[in-house]
Amino acid sequence: QVQLVESGGGLVQAGGSLRLSCAASGRTFSTYRMGWFRRAPGKEREFVAGITWSAGVGYYTDSVKGRFTIYRDNAKNTVYLQMSSLKPEDTAVYYCAADTRRRGDYDVWGQGTQVTVSS
């Protein structure tokens, strides 16, 4: 069973940066599509960014385009989310997810890491 562990969350001022990491167990990490989601207080979970397993191409929700970058290091079984120009509305619990069955949905989730952006 694949397990995902996020780290790197914290408190940052608006305009600042953070890098989230998601370490995955298992030997087939390089074949998983990976994604980052977030859930803000009182809101539903939303997709933030994803990265393909093959070419490592990233894609983003509109609200983070140009500010966030997703990338992966298959040798380290880790996917990252570099967040810059953070805004208070980016405050949320951020979750890493993996599409291990390659069916188009994310079936394995991490426990989440809190990101708080102060104004």
pLDDT of residue 23: 96
**Residue 27: half-sphere exposure toward Cβ, Cα within 13 Å:** 0
Distance CA 110, CA 97 (A): 6
14 alpha carbon, distance to own chain's centre: 19
In tens, the pLDDT along 23-77 reads 999 778 888 999 999 999 999 999 999 999 877 899 999 999 999 999 999 899 9
| Strands lying side by side in the sheet with 4-7 | 4-7, 18-24, 78-83, 68-73
